[in-house]
Amino acid sequence: MLEENSQDFIEQSTIGIHAVSAEGIITYANQFELDMLGYTEDEYVGHHVSEFQMDEICLADMMERLN
């Protein structure tokens, strides 16, 4: 029940939420995140974060934290 409530909370959130694999692949994004960024799920989920993060220092920091 708690897991179901948590999933509903994430999906209905007014905060952009996404999940990224250790390899940097976006594995999930809630609808608010997609709407905020202007992408469809197919355009965003399954893609590498480097396609969306143009700041090389920030990208390097993110990738290091994922490993």
pLDDT at 3: 75
pLDDT at 66: 86
pLDDT at 25: 96
Residue type, 62: M
pTM summary value:
0.83
> H-helix or E-strand containing 27?
strand 26-29
pLDDT mean for each 10 residues of the chain (67 residues): 77 92 95 96 97 94 89
> H-helix or E-strand containing 64?
helix 56-66
pLDDT at 10: 87
